[in-house]
Amino acid sequence: MKKILLLSLLVIIGFYVFKQFVYNPYKWKKGIATPEHKLQLGSFIFSQQRGSNGSQSTQTYYYVFKVIEIKGDYVRLSVIRQLSEKNNLKSSDFSTTKQAYNDLKNSIQKITITPILPEDLYKEDSSFTLNNYLLIKYPSLKQSRYYYEDVKFATDSTEYFSLVYSKEKIINKGKLIPWILNNSVTPELAERLSQNIDLILN
């Protein structure tokens, strides 16, 4: 009986190792080579990350990004989120709910997503809230409150290396691994901050 249990355990472990290190990487590289899932300017990237929820436990955070710049190995992303309504403020972090995350996988190519200059998000009453200023400057917000920050090239290097990830790691590893400045003027890859990518959509 013990031998059967041990054999079963070994089979399960072997299957897991094969899936994680052989099948999943093969499936990822095959998918990212297709036009529908190829990494390019304008791509949408869906990613999940485990993190602390403020107490002693952890939870899963769901993110949807848009690729807004590709420069060498630098891929700049901007988070897709919704503007709050005046009396219904959304969470201040940039994650979304599991339900909204799954819904966007099926609808993101059909909905209007407005690029907004970061400084415009602080106009009028409160930040990241739909207001008259935004509606006049960005009339497409009348169709949908979804937006992303249209970040321009920054001369300040600290600001530039925000939401900038390695193109090579996205393509070959299926992971978001950020370029950061770690008390240096020379950027480095932070493997410890990696996030798994679920899906890339065009």
Out of 27-36, 79-88, 140-149, pick the least confident: 27-36
User: What does the pLDDT average to over 69-88?
Assistant: 88
Same-domain status, 15 and 55 = no
pLDDT at 52 over 70: no
Q: Where are the alpha helices (DSSP H) in 89-184?
A: 98-107, 132-137, 157-160, 167-173
Same-domain status, 109 and 66 = yes
164 band by pLDDT with thresholds 50, 70 and 90 = very high
* pLDDT given for residue 45 in this prediction: 97
Q: What 3-state DSSP class applies to 196?
A: strand
Give the total number of structural domains in the chain. 2
Same-domain status, 20 and 74 = no
- pLDDT tens digit sequence for 115-154: 999 888 887 766 788 889 999 999 999 999 999 999 876 6
Same-domain status, 29 and 42 = no
Question: Which residue type is seen at 149?
Answer: E
Q: How many helices (H) and strands (E) does the chain have?
A: 6, 11
Same-domain status, 84 and 123 = yes
Same-domain status, 169 and 129 = yes
Same-domain status, 76 and 27 = no
Same-domain status, 67 and 137 = yes
User: What does the pLDDT average to over 164-193?
Assistant: 91
Place of tokens 């080579």: 33
Domain that holds residue 156: 35-201
Question: Which residue type is seen at 193?
Answer: L
